[in-house]
Amino acid sequence: MYRYDEIDRELVHQRVAQFRDQTQRFLAGELSEEQFKPLRLMNGLYIQTHAPMLRVAIPYGLLSSDQLRKLAHIARHYDRNYGHFTTRQNLQFNWPKLEDVPDILAELAQVDMHAIQTSGNCIRNVTSDHLAGVNAEEIEDPRPYCEIIRQWSTLHPEFSFLPRKFKIAVTGTKRDRAASQVHDIGLHLVQGADGEVGFQVLVGGGLGRTPVIGKSLREFLGKEDLLSYLEAILRVYNRHGRRDNKYKARIKILVNALGIDAFRDEVEAEWAAIRNGALQLDEAEIERVTAFFAPPAYDPQARLDTSFAEHQTADKAFATWVRRNTRAHKVPGYRVVFVSLKAPGVPPGDITDTQMDALAALADQFSGGMIRSAHDQNLLLADVKLADLYELWQALSAQGLAHANIGTLTDMICCPGLDFCQLANAGSIPIAHQINERFDNLDYLYDLGDIRINMSGCMNACGHHHVGHIGILGVEKHGKEWYQLTLGGSSAEDTALGERLGPAIAKEEVAEVIARILDVYVVHREAEEPFLATVRRIGIAPFKERVYGQTH
């Protein structure tokens, strides 16, 4: 993990002091609501339906146990004993008091954390693959580059008032677990023709009201050119992106208006002028940052364990959890553990202060003191020995964190929706509850296999509904909540936008309609064919017929 030095620490402390001054001026009436808004947004502070919402940055989803304990402390002392993990690997507090926020930021600064650029029209927290560094197919660990980008983009004087927010994701394998194709910029570590490792650069992806899949801007970019190339893209966007309509202000609209070729010409011309300047990275800096992410000292004896197999034979529930909630690790003798934040009755992504403290202790005991947050709103312990899995499972179960549903229908990605968010038109959490109640038979869920539901309470698409295998979009009609369904979306390497199933569905019918969709899948699937593959093979018509044929 990257460790702050005095430079990083000083910056965060100065930023806390600056925000304290801004908040005091606002509370004293010296700053108008309108003037304070962009300032608080640059520090992750929204005004929500009930209270302010503070979004804390978790750079590329990596947390130490001390940091998680601090988040638990903040949840307990400044909020209502819980936090909510987002699709961008961050954590949100839904109930802080505005006047407490400077103190919360000061608490975060004690453990080298902050809320800088977690909202606002600036470069947001850089996201990455939650299996970075532990999966066997990796070309290179993407996290050092995330950190280099984090530093370059932090309080960037030129790019703090962009036309709109700007999101960057970096991945290091051919598998895409970071939804990089629906980011403003997606960076893929790739191997060039001569074996040199660099980046493929995608641009102009995004969801929201105008969902677009990113286009390839450059097939290969040398590592030394990473920051100068990003600066060139951002400068073209800052100068030419639309500012007259916030729904047309993302870079995807500019890329589509110019066409990718003309956009590329602009970027390349800008880049040519700055390429060999001060932003050129040298090998020493890449090595320095990479060293922070060096693998821990794995135990070569870990692979000799036999208890893991015995426990699986003896305890069926444990075996099921292993199958659903753990993944292969690149080092023999270890596994990656998913900590499910999708237990029934709990809003997806929510975690209590007690659970955070317990998980921090388990991370210390079993996984090098590190915790990761994933794009799909779950947490991970990435380096667990086979011999420790049974004890870890028992401890997680006691905390309600071992619900064995990772990758299944109830492992939903979900925005906060109408219950918390001012933008929302409809609830998402009540729909998640409805789905959990209807599909409470785990054996049925296991039989269905990998299915991803994404749910958003409005067109802004925070729950990424366009790219769910089943997408659910809340809309408001005549003062009532309705839900539009899409099928066939994906945010993985085969990224696709879902196709609309038909007219919106009444709130109380959502789970029933999903049940019918699943019936069609079960009838049509071939052998081990996953849901998404069946949808793609047979098309949307049979689903449409089953859903609407009976209700009309």
Partner 1 sequence: MARLIKNRQLAENTVRHLGVDDALPGSDVTVPLARWQAEREQLRFYPHRVGVRLAPDEDPEVLIHDLAHLDLIAVAFPAFTDGRAYSQARLLRERHGYQGEIRALGEVLRDQLQFMARCGIDAFELAPNESPEAALGMFQQIDIHYQPAADGHAPVWQQRRLATQRRLLRP
Residues that bind partner 1 (CB under 8 A): 5-7, 10-11, 14-15, 17-18, 21-22, 35, 38-39, 121, 151-162, 227, 235, 238-239, 243, 273, 277-279, 281-282, 284-285, 288
Chain position carrying tokens 């011999």:
387
Identify which of residues 24 and 394 has a Cβ nearer to partner 1 in the complex. 24
Determine the distance from the C-alpha atom of residue 310 to the mean position of all C-alpha atoms in its chain, rounded to a whole number. 35
Identify which of residues 243 and 546 has a Cβ nearer to partner 1 in the complex. 243
Identify which of residues 254 and 418 has a Cβ nearer to partner 1 in the complex. 254
Say if strands 185-191 and 168-171 run parallel, antiparallel, or are unpaired: parallel
Strand partners, 202: 186, 216
Identify which of residues 108 and 467 has a Cβ nearer to partner 1 in the complex. 108
Give the chain's end-to-end CA distance (angstroms, integer). 56
CB of 107 to partner 1, least distance (A): 20
| The CA-based dihedral angle spanning residues 515, 490, 148, 102, taken in that order and rounded to the nearest 10 degrees | -30
CB of 38 to partner 1, least distance (A): 6
Q: Which alpha helices (H) appear in 113-259, and where do they start and end?
A: 143-153, 226-240, 251-258
CB of 461 to partner 1, least distance (A): 23
Q: What are phi and psi of 162, to 5 degrees?
A: -75, 170
CB of 197 to partner 1, least distance (A): 20
Identify which of residues 21 and 196 has a Cβ nearer to partner 1 in the complex. 21
CB of 520 to partner 1, least distance (A): 48
For the record, the structure tokens of 232 come out as 């060139």
Contacts of residue 93, Cβ cutoff 8 Å, sequence gap at least 6: 53, 54, 55, 56, 74, 75, 78, 79, 83, 84, 104
Identify which of residues 86 and 118 has a Cβ nearer to partner 1 in the complex. 118
What's the one-letter identity of residue 434? Q
CB of 224 to partner 1, least distance (A): 12
Q: What are phi and psi of 487, to 5 degrees?
A: -130, 145
- Of residues 283, 341, 349, the one with CA closest to residue 88: 349
Strand partners, 370: 64
CB of 10 to partner 1, least distance (A): 5
Q: What is the DSSP string of 34-101?
A: HHHHHHHHTTTEEE-SSSEEEEE--GGGEEEHHHHHHHHHHHHHHSSSEEEE-TTS-EEESS--GGGH
| The CA-based dihedral angle spanning residues 466, 462, 162, 38, taken in that order and rounded to the nearest 10 degrees | 160
CB 340 within 8 A of CB 403: yes
CB of 242 to partner 1, least distance (A): 11
Identify which of residues 31 and 423 has a Cβ nearer to partner 1 in the complex. 31
- Which uninterrupted H or E stretch holds 310? helix 307-314
CB of 163 to partner 1, least distance (A): 8
- Of residues 240, 229, 177, 232, the one with CA closest to residue 200: 229
Dist CA 242 CA 163 (whole Å): 6
Identify which of residues 10 and 99 has a Cβ nearer to partner 1 in the complex. 10
Identify which of residues 9 and 174 has a Cβ nearer to partner 1 in the complex. 9
Q: What is the DSSP string of 114-128?
A: --TTSSSSSB---EE
DSSP single-letter state for residue 386: G
Identify which of residues 236 and 395 has a Cβ nearer to partner 1 in the complex. 236
CB of 125 to partner 1, least distance (A): 15
DSSP single-letter state for residue 348: T
Identify which of residues 166 and 420 has a Cβ nearer to partner 1 in the complex. 166
CB 402 within 8 A of CB 321: yes
CB of 172 to partner 1, least distance (A): 22
Identify which of residues 39 and 57 has a Cβ nearer to partner 1 in the complex. 39
CB of 268 to partner 1, least distance (A): 16
CB of 357 to partner 1, least distance (A): 32
- Of residues 218, 17, 229, the one with CA closest to residue 109: 17
Identify which of residues 241 and 468 has a Cβ nearer to partner 1 in the complex. 241
